[in-house]
Amino acid sequence: MFLLISRPEGQGQARGGSRPPAPPLPAAAAMAPRRAAACLLPLLVAAAASAGLGGYFGTKSRYEEVNPHLAEDPLSLGPVAAGARLPAACAPLQLRALLRHGTRYPTAGQIRRLAELHGRLRRRPAAACPAAAALAAWQMWYEESLDGRLAPQGRRDMEHLARRLAARFPALFAARRRLALASSSKHRCLQSGAAFRRGLGPALSLGGEEPEIEVNDALMRFFDHCDKFIASVEENDTAMHQVNAFKEGPEMRKVLEKVASALCLPAEELNADLVQVAFLTCSYELAIKNVTSPWCSLFSEEDAKVLEYLNDLKQYWKRGYGYDINSRSSCILFQDIFQQLDKAVEESKSSKPISSPLIVQVGHAETLQPLLALMGFFKDDEPLRANNYIRQAHRKFRTGHIVPYAANLVFVLYHCDQVKTSKEEYQVQMLLNEKLMPFHHSNETISTYADFKDYYKDILQNCHFKEVCELPKVNITAIDEL
């Protein structure tokens, strides 16, 4: 058994062969060459700068940012990483894949804020403001009905991922293997699951029937079922105080004033949220349509780093290490992963066929990020705060590198023959975005299943979701009348 794993290369931007051509320039540009030259200047700057922005879009990043070789060939498995080969006597028993949905459209709220900003620019005279003129001429094509739905590129993300996983693990994706497919109830996740299934094509024989997609919000949206998380983080206005402080801090103030100047607007008419909407529109245009949007022209690479940090701060305090409940609420999913692995081991020891050799579940960045935090990955020595932006320049917690669109965390269980001890008979690997992850307990990319399970035994034994997530009971006592 040879496992081919890709390794990082230089940053890629275009999606080779998978995108329609860019739309033509506005008609006004053709009719007025001098004015067009002024309006197109920001576009030319954006084209030159776009290569420096793509790596800073956080959770709105394209999957190609973490696997640049896919820009040229979306079915490429990439170069073989050193040390990625398993002994020939090891065969995969079970694959458990946790996926984030593919590229999506903005949410209705983001679209409303973009319409507000775009409307302001259209209402202002922009003769002496080329950047504002270019953006006012930009066609606002997003409609609120799109509200976070899966984009066509998102379907391609999932179809291609399915084909690559099948190529990496042909034995598990072989005919007559049972695929257990689950998803959150969100439309973009259900559509991603259907696209993944479609990507497997006729190579996966399922008795002529497509596998049902089970809706499982208990595992894929565990955060919605955790009262303690909802009360102490989700609906707690003070929980994001580091995020709010950074929005008002010197780094964001500098970006805001620069954008306001470029748009010939008073700085008082903008806020951090509107600046972030402009930046994310640049990211959406790149991810959804593979075009460099005029919105990108407002930002330099340094600006992008600041806005990435704002995004990462929010994820850190809402889904990462900021509060213990963020990660602890995911232990129900973590337990389920090990329960299925345990079951496969027991079935193998009893010489029974593996009942669930292939488990694919589609969720969200908010599904994967807490789980990775629970497991201790991408943890910095110093917490992310509003006042340590400079010190966090080389931080591990960069969500665009961890949970871009179509992010995937894969657990692979192997049975190995010709081993020295019975403990070595069952081994496991983890892959994040199709790259092997070193285990904390050994810093190796392969572990015995026993050692892997033992390292996390405290989490597995002490995860009682109901107790972890229940709100403390408040004793209400009557106050004696004076």
Catalytic annotation, residues: 101
Rounded-to-integer distance, Cα 161 and Cα 75, Å: 8
**Helices vs. strands in the chain: H and E counts, helices first:** 19, 8
**Which helix (DSSP H) or strand (DSSP E) does residue 431 occupy?**
strand 426-432
Rounded-to-integer distance, Cα 430 and Cα 409, Å: 7
Nearest one of 61, 110, 128 to 278, comparing CA atoms:
110
The owner of tokens 């709100």 is 471
- Residues 325, 228 contacting (CB under 8 angstroms): yes
Task: Please write down the HEC assignment for all residues of 63-132.
Answer: HHHCCHHHHCCCCCCCCCCCCCCCCCCEEEEEEEEEEECCCECCCHHHHHHHHHHHHHHHHCCCCCCHHH
Contacts of 84 (CB under 8 A, 6+ apart): 3, 4, 5, 436, 445
Two tokens at 37? 């030259």
How many other C-beta atoms are found inside a 10 Å radius of the C-beta of residue 172?
Answer: 19
Nearest one of 213, 455, 239, 434 to 334, comparing CA atoms:
455
Backbone conformation region of residue 393, classed left if phi is above 0, alpha if psi is from -120 to 50, else beta:
alpha
Rounded-to-integer distance, Cα 217 and Cα 222, Å: 6
Nearest one of 359, 367, 368 to 341, comparing CA atoms:
359
